[in-house]
Structure 1
Amino acid sequence: MRSILIIDDEIHTCTLLRKILMKEGFDVDITMSGSTALKMVKEKHYQVVFCDYRLKDKEKDGATLSHEIHLLSPQTAIIIMTGYPDVRIAIQFIKNGAYDYVTKPLHAEQVILLANKAFLYIANVHGNDTTPYSAPSVTSVNAQGKLSETGHVYGISSASKELNQQISLIAPTNYSVIICGETGTGKESVARLIHSRSKRSDKPFVALDCGSLSNELAASELFGHEKGSFTGAINTKIGAFQEANGGTLFLDEVANLSYSIQVALLRVLQERMVRPVGSNIETPVDIRLIVASNENLSHAIIQGKFREDLFYRLNEFTLTVPPLRKRLEDLPLFIETFVKETENDLQRKSGPLSPELLEYFNTYSWPGNIRELKNLIRRACLLTPADSTIDLQILPQDMTDAHKPVHKKVIVLKQADNDLKSIAQQAEHEKIMKVLREVKFNKTKAARLMNIDRKTLYNKLQLLEIKV
């Protein structure tokens, strides 16, 4: 039987939660005393505990109690209930061993979903005898039992666990979120997961890539336009803000928006009103904004590319998605998930990955991160006959070249050691190689760091016979 303990000093909260959860087949006990709760935990194993944060117990408040329960029963998933949501306090609870938190007033569907997710978490992490539960937003479960929810794969690495804890903290709030991370790390997947766990989950999720939008097009895509407002505007268009009304708007590569669009965006966020291009009518909008960037926005502010006031308006909470090279423990989970997805697409069984290929994956730097891995798995499964072993030979040449030693030009000082030209060439060669290694041989980033354009860098690579 799946056992739950409810700890709250309001009797109607206890009885309501007990009624809701017992209808779902849970074994539920309640108490309004922290001291009594500790005695109950010592006498009976509770797999999940709902504990009120503002517990009016002279001896045990909610913060102390949840920590002590965690020490007594580390495998128990503790869910904090609070009517005063504060992300900083919630983070401290997570650090002290809590599994998740929920804000009051409580809704039946929310409580049931949270309880089932807690039992699933226990089954995955601790191997308890619980019945797995698939939430409506779950699309697949891989061999290790880690969920792929809205395209998001739960990892087992410490970096992944920390990310998932922070997602659990921020998702139920209405805070604006900045998601940072390298290209291909899955920033949109994280945004969708935040939306799916929020109170807006039944409303639209609208994603817009700002990376390639011109100034005029960005205004139209974000705010909409009236027919005839500019050349090519042959019809009235609803913008992303209005499409996402009531739900979540995700702006990817937000740093690429022009300065004038940033000004307009800041005004919309402050006024919560949208005026389409060519219109004099303002329309109220209610959205939660999540933005993402693979560029450091603080550096963009210093460079004059991003408005400081907009940054502070957006920066209510920041998440950093770790690169794949820092979460290699998760490789088997990602591989298993992507292989199963590809098998479904191809309608045929794929063979196993060879030990040599898996070893190569664990030593590769993955500059394209999860997106690169996913595309590689799809390519490998397509090109390898059904049920045949997927081997190293399937790797594209650019990937194998990345593992080959870089051919360096050895500059021989044919004349005296004080030949300034030769010494300068050698120093330049060493500097370029150092920067290239730092940026994983990304030439665009290397050129930017050395304050030269790409053409100049290519000329120097050719002159110094550096092949990368």
Structure 2
Amino acid sequence: MKQILLVEDDLTYSRIVKTFLEKNGYAVQTCIKVKDAQQIMSSNSFDLIIADFRLPDGTGMELLQWTKSKFPQTQVILITHYSDIRIAIKAMKLGAFEYITKPINPDELLATVKESLSVKGNEAPKTSSTPQKSSEPKVSKGSYVIGSSSEAEKLEKHIQLVAPTDLSVLVLGETGTGKEFVSRRIHELSTRKDGPFIAIDCGALPRELAGSELFGHVKGAFTGALEHKTGHFESANGGTIFLDEIGNLSYEVQIQLLRAIQERTIRKIGGNKEIQIDVRIIAATNDNLILQSGDGHFREDLYHRLNEFTLQAIPLRRRKEDLEDFSQQFLEESNARLNKSVSGFTPEVWEIFLAYDWPGNLRELRNIIKRAVLLTAGGLVEKDALPADLYEPSLQSTSTSMMGGASSMGNDLPSPKDYKSKWIEQEKELIQKVLNDTKFNKSKTARILNMDRKTLYSKMEKYGLD
């Protein structure tokens, strides 16, 4: 029987989810805090962790990172509100299997749990207490969608231009814009297409093991190194290695990477033998590496080595002409995954899709379509299958209340978006001021602002005030 740890501080909600999962054949243990979860996991083995993002003593993101560093075979599903969508997407980059949104749909929860537990890597036996990552890095699935917008055509032209060369490529773009798909496309159009394509999420690599994961180690190199390990660079020999979120690598690993690029050789941790490698490097980031190099967090010489050619992945809000192509692709994927036969979307859904800003880009679109397909009983996805946040922004009522009596004030009022923007700006400034006044005493700040600590932490995360 698969073992699940549910970390949720809403006891009623926790009891409902626990009962539901147990009725479907799973053994479920519950707790309410990050610290409690860590203690339980240190003495028990779990196949899956389901954690709420907002917890009394921390966040599900913290538990995710801790779990992936200690028990990388254990899958993690994050529970969020749709207002947390950017955070949820970041969690996916850090190794979460999936995120589901409140209020939880039972069918969606069960399908996601089953899928997470069916992943091959999750079945691997844990032969050592030393953290071991899956030997096969996660890669993108599905076909590459070129798109028909002018920006998409320009991107494809540049891909086809650089693909046949051996230049190192830096793919820039927001989270969820498909940087890995772009990188795989380069590989498939290159002379290395018959070689391996190894995708590494640098943000998910445990800091103390990053060098070992990338370059390998010899037996006895450090405590817990019980056997020789082949690193990802050696596995990618003759092909392409994709280093996503490259800016997360430590300075020490950056030095090793620079040497690998310059010398075309690697040395395993604890070893003294030089290993020749023939690998093309494609790196990706949503960070400004130039700024990071200026403040000493990223080596400028490494940046220039990686940046022999730059590609810019396009945010979905700037390629609405491609929305239909992507939606159809994700619809077909979802039908296959969920054994459904949904044929399309109603005109009302298309209007919502076209009006929405898509802050989570392609990843958000894919997740929303998968959820909608699951909830659709007929042939077309209808409005009711979409999360309400797509067509009823959470701050819409706030904007409306701030416009009280607007009809009598003339026609030159700012738009609701302007009011919303000003509200956010004022709230951010107020929270920052109180934090400064209390010397970042969060308990005192929450009391002064008349909000609970969880709400304060959420707003600090949202406004980047940590």
Residues 232-282 of structure 1: CA deviation (Å, up to 9, x unaligned): 222211001100011101000000001111111111111111111111111
Are residues 1:241 and 2:233 paired?
yes
Provide the secondary structure at the position in 2 that maps to 1:336: helix
Provide the secondary structure at the position in 1 that maps to 2:200: strand
AA in 1 matched with 2:310: T
Picking from 189, 197, 208, the partner of 1:216 is: 208
Per the alignment, residue 387 of structure 2 pairs with 396
Provide the secondary structure at the position in 2 that maps to 1:167: helix
Are residues 1:275 and 2:249 paired?
no
AA in 2 matched with 1:346: L
> Which entry has the higher C-alpha Rg, 1 or 2?
1
* Cα separation, 2, equivalents of 1:352 and 1:405: 29
* Cα separation, 1, equivalents of 2:254 and 2:203: 14
Per the alignment, residue 154 of structure 1 pairs with 146
How big is the alpha-carbon RMSD for the aligned residues of Structure 1 and Structure 2? 3.5
* Cα separation, 1, equivalents of 2:447 and 2:161: 49
Picking from 166, 182, 191, the partner of 1:199 is: 191
Provide the secondary structure at the position in 1 that maps to 2:203: coil
Percent of aligned pairs with the same residue?
46
Picking from 325, 350, 354, the partner of 2:346 is: 354
Conservation of the 8 A alpha-carbon contact between 2:162 and 2:186: yes
Report deviation, 1:187: 0.5
Are residues 1:170 and 2:142 paired?
no
Conservation of the 8 A alpha-carbon contact between 1:220 and 1:277: yes
* Cα separation, 1, equivalents of 2:440 and 2:182: 33
Residues 148-193 of structure 1: CA deviation (Å, up to 9, x unaligned): 9963101001110110000010000000000001111110011000
> Can you give the 5+ residue segments of structure 1 that lack an aligned partner in the other structure?
1-147, 412-428, 437-442
Conservation of the 8 A alpha-carbon contact between 1:150 and 1:192: no
Provide the secondary structure at the position in 2 that maps to 1:365: coil
Per the alignment, residue 295 of structure 1 pairs with 287
Conservation of the 8 A alpha-carbon contact between 2:168 and 2:281: yes
Q: 1:275-424, aligned counterparts within 5 Å?
A: 275-387=267-379, 389-402=380-393, 404-405=395-396, 407=398
Does the C-alpha gap of structure 1 residues 359 and 453 become closer, same or farther in structure 2, counting only changes over 3 Å? Answer: farther
Per the alignment, residue 251 of structure 2 pairs with 259
Normalised TM-score (structure 2): 0.57
Picking from 169, 172, 190, the partner of 1:180 is: 172
Does the C-alpha gap of structure 1 residues 153 and 459 become closer, same or farther in structure 2, counting only changes over 3 Å? Answer: farther
Provide the secondary structure at the position in 1 that maps to 2:372: helix
Residues 80-118 of structure 1: CA deviation (Å, up to 9, x unaligned): xxxxxxxxxxxxxxxxxxxxxxxxxxxxxxxxxxxxxxx
Conservation of the 8 A alpha-carbon contact between 1:210 and 1:252: yes
AA in 2 matched with 1:395: L
With a CA cutoff of 8 Å and minimum separation of 6, indicate the structure with the bigger relative contact order. Answer: 2
AA in 2 matched with 1:163: L
* Cα separation, 1, equivalents of 2:172 and 2:441: 25
Provide the secondary structure at the position in 2 that maps to 1:407: helix
* Cα separation, 2, equivalents of 1:402 and 1:298: 35
Per the alignment, residue 44 of structure 2 pairs with none
Per the alignment, residue 225 of structure 1 pairs with 217
Conservation of the 8 A alpha-carbon contact between 2:317 and 2:358: yes
Residues 28-76 of structure 1: CA deviation (Å, up to 9, x unaligned): xxxxxxxxxxxxxxxxxxxxxxxxxxxxxxxxxxxxxxxxxxxxxxxxx
Does the C-alpha gap of structure 1 residues 385 and 463 become closer, same or farther in structure 2, counting only changes over 3 Å? Answer: same
Provide the secondary structure at the position in 2 that maps to 1:245: coil
Residues 114-156 of structure 1: CA deviation (Å, up to 9, x unaligned): xxxxxxxxxxxxxxxxxxxxxxxxxxxxxxxxxx996310100
Per the alignment, residue 54 of structure 2 pairs with none
Per the alignment, residue 433 of structure 1 pairs with 424
Residues 383-439 of structure 1: CA deviation (Å, up to 9, x unaligned): 11142x32222122454553651626969xxxxxxxxxxxxxxxxx97672499xxx
* Cα separation, 2, equivalents of 1:434 and 1:168: 43
Conservation of the 8 A alpha-carbon contact between 2:241 and 2:281: yes
Conservation of the 8 A alpha-carbon contact between 2:328 and 2:344: no
Provide the secondary structure at the position in 2 that maps to 1:227: coil
Does the C-alpha gap of structure 1 residues 329 and 231 become closer, same or farther in structure 2, counting only changes over 3 Å? Answer: same
Conservation of the 8 A alpha-carbon contact between 2:200 and 2:244: yes
* Cα separation, 1, equivalents of 2:294 and 2:180: 26
* Cα separation, 2, equivalents of 1:453 and 1:158: 47
* Cα separation, 2, equivalents of 1:173 and 1:460: 59
Conservation of the 8 A alpha-carbon contact between 1:364 and 1:403: no
Normalised TM-score (structure 1): 0.57
Does the C-alpha gap of structure 1 residues 163 and 430 become closer, same or farther in structure 2, counting only changes over 3 Å? Answer: closer
* Cα separation, 2, equivalents of 1:337 and 1:211: 28
AA in 2 matched with 1:313: R
Aligned residues: 293
AA in 2 matched with 1:391: E
* Cα separation, 1, equivalents of 2:204 and 2:447: 29
Provide the secondary structure at the position in 2 that maps to 1:251: strand
* Cα separation, 1, equivalents of 2:398 and 2:441: 20
AA in 1 matched with 2:146: Y
Conservation of the 8 A alpha-carbon contact between 2:352 and 2:391: no
* Cα separation, 2, equivalents of 1:454 and 1:435: 20
> Can you give the 5+ residue segments of structure 2 that lack an aligned partner in the other structure?
1-139, 404-419
Report deviation, 1:303: 2.9
